């Protein structure tokens, strides 16, 4: 048994605004049987019940069983697909016509994730107490001190974060439209601009070259030309850019466009690529040369098991290829390779378990690499006692504040 102390986490990619409100909602993540899920949802007394954490590989629902329940929106674990029952549609249609008419269309969802996030955030709006308690009670007990907001859903969250003295424990990213809607003062609080280039693995909208087992190729949101134009528009804000790119086709697209810009002597602000779960070695080497930072989630190592029903074996094996990125492409944890959770789930326990004892050796991080890419620079806010049992391949963590 090895025992070490590491600083609290710095979660570089999550969604505190939406999660702080969802924390009050029904979470199906650990509800493994459908009857139990239906019972929980049927007991809700809210005007509209928002449910999250649903993993479609465990069970699915049909319209009839959902329409019997109170007004309900179920968010898929990935937040890229949604079930809205008839009673909820009836209530929401007139106030949110566009979202409700398109909520079943995968293509529309992938292109309008900002609208969906704002829609959900509007239904579960969190109060100043909820956001404070999210940071001080929920995140801290999971070992997280600092948590970046990767897609600001609503301007008022900036004030909530400021009022609660939380602005130093986050960085806020917003899509370009949201950024332009803010006044100068609020724009100052925005770290950078978020762009989506594909969807998610769970709903088979991440763009992978060989396609999913059932044939889907994923959704590439922009053509090269469109993405080039968008990046040039963002360049005018002078802000760093965080680009969501999961599949090999889009990580490649991002690098291709940046190379083209470079050859034309067009220089963009700092670029961070979010997730890049299926980045190839060839793309990774170019990304390193281009000075792109990779922002990845060790907890998604387990996608290789959870999504074995939809991803070809080659992709299961090459999901989150940390060894290739560090040993062959030369990325350095803490410098140009940083870690976060995307809230799936939050916290040190699962992330560290997945890092030290992953399903595929390619996904393994040492505790030193984990700490460099995922932890606060020191233990002044608290620390985590980690016990590693190599023989049992188990860890235990204790957060000390």
Do 242 and 192 meet the contact criterion of CB atoms below 8 Å apart?
A: yes
Nearer residue to Zn ion within complex by CB, 150 or 227: 150
Q: Which stretch binds Zn ion (CB under 5 A): 1-9, 39-47, 143-151, 290-298?
A: 143-151
Residue 144 Cβ vs Zn ion, minimum distance, rounded to whole Å: 15
* Cβ-based neighbours of 337, under 8 Å, separated by 6 or more: 293, 294, 296, 325, 326, 331, 373
The verdict on 198 binding Zn ion (CB under 5 A) reads no
Least distance from Zn ion to the Cβ atom of residue 343, Å:
8
Nearer to Zn ion, 131 or 384 (CB): 131
Nearer to Zn ion (CB atom), residue 171 or residue 383: 171
Distance from C-alpha of 388 to C-alpha of 75, rounded to nearest angstrom: 35
Between 297 and 354, CB nearer to Zn ion: 297
Residue corresponding to tokens 């378990």: 353
The residue number whose beta carbon is nearest to Zn ion equals: 342
- Which span sits near Zn ion by CB under 5 A: 102-110, 140-148, 338-346, 388-396? 338-346
Residue with smaller CB distance to Zn ion, 219 or 395: 219
Q: What's the closest the beta carbon of residue 15 comes to Zn ion, in angstroms?
A: 6
Q: Which helix (H) or strand (E) holds 294?
A: strand 293-296
What are the respective helix, strand and coil percentages of the chain, to the nearest 5?
40, 20, 40
Give the nearest distance from C-beta 30 to Zn ion in angstroms.
20
Q: Which of 18/384 has CB closer to Zn ion?
A: 18
Residue that has been written with the tokens 């007394």 in this structure = 45
Distance separating alpha carbons of residues 252 and 311, to the nearest angstrom:
19
Q: Are 121 and 129 in contact (CB under 8 A)?
A: no
Cβ-proximal residues to 172 (8 Å cutoff; 6+ apart), any chain: 148, 149, 152, 157, 158, 161, 189, 190, 191
> Using omega within 30 degrees of 0 as the cis cutoff, is the peptide bond preceding 345 cis?
yes
CA distance 23 to 139: 11
Question: Based on CB atoms, which residue is closest to Zn ion, 78 or 126?
Answer: 78
Q: At what angle do helices 348-356 and 367-374 cross, to 10 degrees?
A: 140
**Min. distance of Cβ 22 from Zn ion in angstroms?**
13
Pairing assessment for the beta strands 271-275 and 241-245 based on DSSP bridges: parallel
Other C-beta atoms closer than 10 Å to the C-beta of 272 total: 22
Q: Which residues pair with 5 in a beta bridge?
A: 385
As measured in angstroms, the least distance from the Cβ of 136 to Zn ion is 22
Number of shown-chain residues binding Zn ion (CB under 5 A):
2
Residue 342 within binding range of Zn ion, rule CB under 5 A: yes
Could you tell me the smallest distance in angstroms from the CB atom of residue 242 to Zn ion? 9
CB of 282 to Zn ion, least distance (A): 26
Give CA angle at 148 (330, 196), nearest 5°.
Answer: 70
Closest CB to Zn ion among residues 194, 239:
194
User: Given the structure tokens 């009836």, which residue do they identify?
Assistant: 90
State how beta strands 9-14 and 144-149 pair. parallel
CB of 294 to Zn ion, least distance (A): 14
Nearer of residues 336 and 342 to Zn ion, judged by Cβ: 342
Min CB(273)–Zn ion separation in Å = 13
Q: Which stretch binds Zn ion (CB under 5 A): 94-102, 223-231, 342-350, 352-360?
A: 342-350
Stretch that binds Zn ion, among 109-117, 282-290, 303-311, 339-347 (CB under 5 A): 339-347
Binding to Zn ion (CB under 5 A) within 65-94 occurs at none
CA 392 to chain centroid? 30
Pick 103 or 150: Cβ nearer Zn ion: 150
The encoded tokens of residue 72 equal 């309900």
Position 252 contacts Zn ion (CB under 5 A)? no
Contacts (CB under 5 A) with Zn ion, residues 144-163: 150
Task: Tell the smallest beta-carbon distance from residue 85 to Zn ion (Å).
Answer: 26
Closest to Zn ion by CB, 72 or 344? 344
Residue 72 CA to residue 88 CA, distance in Å, equals 6
The residue ranges that bind Zn ion (CB under 5 A) are 150, 342
């Amino acid at each position: 048994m090895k025992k070490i102390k590491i600083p609290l986490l710095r979660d570089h990619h999550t969604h505190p605004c939406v999660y702080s409100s969802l924390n009050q909602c029904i979470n199906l993540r650990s509800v493994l049987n459908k009857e139990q899920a239906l019972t929980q949802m049927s007991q809700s007394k809210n005007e509209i019940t928002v449910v999250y954490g649903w993993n479609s590989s465990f069970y699915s629902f049909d319209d009839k069983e959902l329409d019997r329940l109170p007004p309900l929106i179920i968010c898929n674990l990935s937040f890229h697909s949604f079930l809205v029952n008839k009673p909820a549609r009836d209530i929401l249609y007139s106030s949110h016509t566009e979202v409700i008419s398109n909520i079943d269309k995968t293509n529309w969802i992938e292109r309008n994730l900002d609208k969906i996030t704002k829609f959900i955030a509007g239904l579960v709006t969190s109060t100043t107490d909820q956001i404070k308690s999210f940071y001080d009670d929920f995140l801290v007990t999971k070992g997280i001190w600092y948590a970046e907001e990767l897609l600001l859903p609503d301007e008022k969250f900036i004030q909530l974060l400021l009022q609660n003295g939380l602005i130093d424990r986050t960085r806020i990213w917003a899509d370009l439209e949201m950024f332009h809607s803010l006044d100068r003062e609020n724009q100052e609080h925005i770290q950078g601009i978020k762009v989506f280039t594909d969807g998610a693995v769970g709903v088979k909208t991440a763009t992978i070259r060989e396609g999913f087992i059932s044939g889907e190729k994923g959704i590439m949101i922009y053509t090269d030309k469109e993405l080039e134009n968008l990046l040039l528009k963002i360049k005018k804000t002078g802000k760093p850019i965080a680009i969501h790119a999961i599949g090999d086709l889009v990580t490649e697209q991002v690098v291709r466009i940046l190379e083209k810009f470079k050859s034309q002597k067009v220089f963009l602000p700092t670029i961070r690529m979010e997730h890049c779960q299926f980045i190839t070695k060839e793309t990774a080497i170019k990304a390193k040369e281009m000075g792109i930072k990779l922002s990845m989630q060790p907890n998604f190592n387990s996608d290789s098991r959870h999504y074995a029903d939809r991803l070809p074996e080659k992709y299961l094996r090459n999901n989150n290829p940390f060894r290739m990125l560090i040993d062959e492409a030369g990325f350095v944890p803490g410098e140009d390779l940083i870690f976060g959770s995307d809230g799936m789930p939050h916290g040190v326990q699962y992330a560290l378990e997945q890092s030290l004892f992953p399903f595929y050796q390619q996904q393994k991080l040492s505790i030193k690499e984990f700490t460099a890419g995922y932890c606060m620079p020191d233990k002044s806010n608290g620390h985590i006692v980690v016990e590693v049992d190599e023989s049992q391949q188990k860890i235990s963590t204790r957060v000390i504040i």
